[in-house]
């Protein structure tokens, strides 16, 4: 399906999917959209210069709701997301990564929630984490209480990207996904939305997130940049969000966590002195991190 043959009726949900060498998982991801019990959606599929069979897999779908935008070369995830958002026509925007999958009730439950809660700008959900073979090994269960959810924005991103549905109008007001973030564009965007209205989570498993070594943000090659962006966003959230005393302490610990990860990445890449200096500075300035669970453990994991 090409962009020029898209359906003419404006759907209620536009799904953003950026695709790069996703052939092993792409069918499962798209099929999970087709299996939704809510059918009023369009898929904005940005084929981001893949070198594998992803373009052929996309060409095999004849569903008029699937709009494919082929790019001759990879432009990066953030520019691809911004491009996808610019092509979306719907009131609500959903995100689904090309290696993740949605449960059949996801769209119906999220559309109903946003319809009933006009003050909410984005709604996510609980998520199951799966490996390369699709075997579920953990659950991700962020808080569903709106106040608790807002507070934890000061020290962690509670929203799984492939669980997010948000209002297009508000997304355009904040300028979409911030261009300067290569890896943490989802959280940067979330922080901007959180300053426009409430963030919510539905306490149901509505998506499956694939976690494996091939994920860009989990690659040691990109560890320094991932940590650097984490430091910047944690500092930003501490400055811009109204947080209680406990959350501000957690925010400082989270900044230190990313500083330490940045230092470790520098150390592993041969920058021994600079990496050690950064680690020690983080520990000295934020000694609380030594007795909190914020250094290596994610707080919303459910076994």
List pLDDT tens digits, range 214-268.
554 455 568 999 999 999 999 999 999 999 999 999 999 999 999 999 999 999 9
Q: Strand 301-302 relative to strand 136-140: parallel, antiparallel, unpaired?
A: antiparallel
Average the pLDDT over each of 41-55, 56-70, 201-215, 226-240 and give the range with the smallest value. Answer: 201-215
Which residue segments constitute the domains of the chain, with CATH numbers given?
3-218 (3.90.550.10), 220-296 (no CATH)
Q: What CA–CA distance (Å, rounded) separates 69 from 55? A: 10
User: Is residue 3's pLDDT more than 90?
Assistant: no
Q: What CA–CA distance (Å, rounded) separates 14 from 92? A: 6
Instruction: Supply the pTM of this predicted model.
Output: 0.92
Please tell me the predicted confidence (pLDDT) of residue 5: 42
Nearest Cα residue to 241 out of 201, 195, 200: 195
Element (H, E) at 161: none
CA dihedral 259, 300, 159, 29 (to 10 degrees): 110
Element (H, E) at 100: none
Please tell me the predicted confidence (pLDDT) of residue 188: 98
Using alpha carbons, list the distances in angstroms from residue 105 to 30, 77, 206, 223, 300. Answer: 15, 27, 7, 35, 22
Q: Strand 41-48 relative to strand 13-19: parallel, antiparallel, unpaired?
A: parallel
Q: How confident is the model at residue 294 (pLDDT cuts 50, 70, 90)?
A: very low
Element (H, E) at 97: none
Please tell me the predicted confidence (pLDDT) of residue 4: 41
Average the pLDDT over each of 171-180, 190-199, 269-278 and give the range with the smallest value. Answer: 269-278
pLDDT tens track for 91-146: 999 999 999 999 999 999 999 999 999 999 999 999 999 999 999 999 999 999 99
What's the rounded mean pLDDT across residues 255-282? 94
Per DSSP, the residues of 258-284 read HHHHHHHHHHHTT-HHHHHHHHHHHHH
User: Is residue 160's pLDDT more than 90?
Assistant: yes
Residue 114 near residue 92, CB atoms below 8 Å: yes
Please tell me the predicted confidence (pLDDT) of residue 212: 77
């Amino acid at each position: 399906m090409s962009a020029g043959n898209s359906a003419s009726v404006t759907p209620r949900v536009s799904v953003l999917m950026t695709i790069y060498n996703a052939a092993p998982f792409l069918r499962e991801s798209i099929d999970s959209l087709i299996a939704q019990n809510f059918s009023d959606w369009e898929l904005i599929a940005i084929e981001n210069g893949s070198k594998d069979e992803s373009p052929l897999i996309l060409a095999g779908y004849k569903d008029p709701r699937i709009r494919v935008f082929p790019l001759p070369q990879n432009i990066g995830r953030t520019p691809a997301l911004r491009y996808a958002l610019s092509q979306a026509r719907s009131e609500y925007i959903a995100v689904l990564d090309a290696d993740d999958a949605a449960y059949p009730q996801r769209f119906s439950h999220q559309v109903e929630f946003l319809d009933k809660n006009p003050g909410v700008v984005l709604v996510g959900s609980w998520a199951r984490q799966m490996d390369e073979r699709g075997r579920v090994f953990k659950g991700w269960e962020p808080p569903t209480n709106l106040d608790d959810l807002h507070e934890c924005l000061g020290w962690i991103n509670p929203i799984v990207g492939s669980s997010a549905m948000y209002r297009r109008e508000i997304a355009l007001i904040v300028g979409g996904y911030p261009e300067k973030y290569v890896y943490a564009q989802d959280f940067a965007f979330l922080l901007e939305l959180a300053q426009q209205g409430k963030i919510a989570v539905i306490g149901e498993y509505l998506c499956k997130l694939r976690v494996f070594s091939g994920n860009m943000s989990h690659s040691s090659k990109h560890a320094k940049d991932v940590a650097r962006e984490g430091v910047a966003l944690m500092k930003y959230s501490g400055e811009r969000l109204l947080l209680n005393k406990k959350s501000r302490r957690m925010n400082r610990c989270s900044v230190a966590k990313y500083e330490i990860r940045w230092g470790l990445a520098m150390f592993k890449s041969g920058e021994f002195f600079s990496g050690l200096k950064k680690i020690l500075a983080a520990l000295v300035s934020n000694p609380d991190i030594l007795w909190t669970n914020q250094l290596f453990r994610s707080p919303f994991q459910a076994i």
